[in-house]
Amino acid sequence: MATIQALNINHPKHREALKAEKYTVIREAMLASLPAADWMPFSELESAVRAWLKQREVPPALFPKPGSVRWYCKAVQLDLEARGEIERQPRKSPLHLRRCQPAS
C-alpha cells in the first residue's frame, strides 16, 4: 500500500509514514466537516469524521483497530496544520480548529 509522508506542526523535522488510502479518506472527511468561519473542538471533529465515514459507507475494515480513526484524525490534523490547510485557535484549550481562509 502506498504511503504519504505526513508533516507535524509541532515537530517540523518529523515525518510520519501514513497509508495513503487512509490519509486521503480522513483528510477528505476532515475538510468536509470543518467550518471555515467558526471553530470546532477536536472532539466534535472526530465525531463528525466518524459520521462522514459511516455516511459514505467507508468499509470498517479500513480502520479495524479500536482507536485507529482517532489516531488518523490526529495525525492528519497535525499534517494539515503544517501544510496551512487548517489552523488551531490560539490560546484555546481544548483544541479548536477551522479550515484556513483562502488568501484574497
All structural domains of the chain with their residue ranges: 3-99
Question: What are the φ and ψ backbone dihedral angles of 16, each rounded to 5 degrees?
Answer: -115, 125
pLDDT for the residue 103: 61
Of 24, 32, 68, 71, residue with least CA distance to 48:
32
Of 63, 28, 67, residue with least CA distance to 48:
28
| CA distance linking residue 77 with residue 40, whole number of Å | 12
Whether residue 97 is predicted with pLDDT greater than 70 in this model: the reply is yes
Which pLDDT band holds residue 101 (cuts at 50, 70, 90)?
confident
pLDDT tens digits along 32-76: 999 999 999 999 999 999 999 999 999 999 999 989 999 999 999
Which architecture characterizes domain 3-99 according to CATH? Orthogonal Bundle (1.10)
